[in-house]
């Protein structure tokens, strides 16, 4: 889908769902990473992440477009266009627009190493993401010596 086809789709959705025209710029933006789309307050343009169409298909794309059009029309009218505003939430419900975009990638979660330490006296466990020098620290419960148990990647 090209930017021109995207603009035509947004114009038709705007007329069908909102009964108002969309007269500004619409384009795909490959640099968007964590969001499905965004509405630019200064230029009134709408940018859509092309991954929405590739990963989830046309139905999710239409949902993201409706969401951004809610921002667009409310901002143009001078009403509450932010996510926390009642006007915005009401318009989302009336147009059956999604509040959030489905995740675009599965690999967003970081994998941390886990270090486990134990007090030699009272057996209290300490779980840490960072390695610690056991010679510098003592147990917070009994002041006993701390020993390293294992490091899990």
| Maximum Cα–Cα distance across the chain | 73
Amino acid 150: pLDDT: 84
Give the model's pLDDT for residue 152.
76
In the set 4, 59, 60, 68, the catalytic residue is 68
Q: In this structure, are residues 127 and 89 in contact, taking their beta carbons and an 8 Å threshold?
A: no
**Is 8 among the catalytic positions?**
no
pTM given for the model: 0.69
Q: Answer yes or no: are the C-beta atoms of 45 and 65 closer than 8 Å.
A: no
Question: Do the Cβ atoms of 108 and 77 come closer than 8 Å?
Answer: no
The two structure tokens encoding residue 151:
């490091």
Q: What pLDDT is recorded for position 100?
A: 87
Residue 152: half-sphere exposure toward Cβ, Cα within 13 Å: 9
The rounded Cα 56 to chain-centroid distance in angstroms is 15
Tell me how far apart the alpha carbons of residues 121 and 10 are, in angstroms, rounded to a whole number: 67
Which pLDDT band holds residue 112 (cuts at 50, 70, 90)?
confident
d(CA 75, CA 54): 29
Q: Contact, 103 vs 49, CB < 8 A? A: no
- What CATH number should be reported for the domain whose range is 3-94? 3.30.2010.10
Q: Domain ranges in the chain?
A: 3-94, 114-152
pLDDT of residue 106: 66
């Amino acid at each position: 889908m090209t930017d021109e086809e995207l603009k035509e789709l947004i114009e038709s959705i705007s007329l069908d769902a909102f009964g108002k025209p969309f007269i500004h710029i619409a384009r795909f933006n490959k640099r968007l990473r964590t969001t499905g789309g965004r509405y630019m307050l200064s230029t009134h343009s709408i940018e859509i992440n092309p991954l929405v169409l590739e990963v989830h298909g046309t139905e999710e794309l239409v949902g993201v477009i409706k969401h951004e059009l809610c921002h667009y029309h409310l901002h143009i009218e001078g009403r509450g266009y932010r996510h926390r505003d009642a006007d915005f939430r009401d318009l989302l419900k009336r147009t059956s627009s999604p509040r959030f975009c489905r995740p675009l990638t599965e690999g967003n979660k970081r994998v941390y190493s886990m270090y486990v330490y134990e007090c030699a006296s009272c057996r209290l466990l300490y779980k840490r993401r960072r390695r610690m020098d056991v010679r510098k620290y003592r147990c917070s419960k009994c002041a006993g010596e701390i020993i390293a148990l294992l490091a899990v990647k």
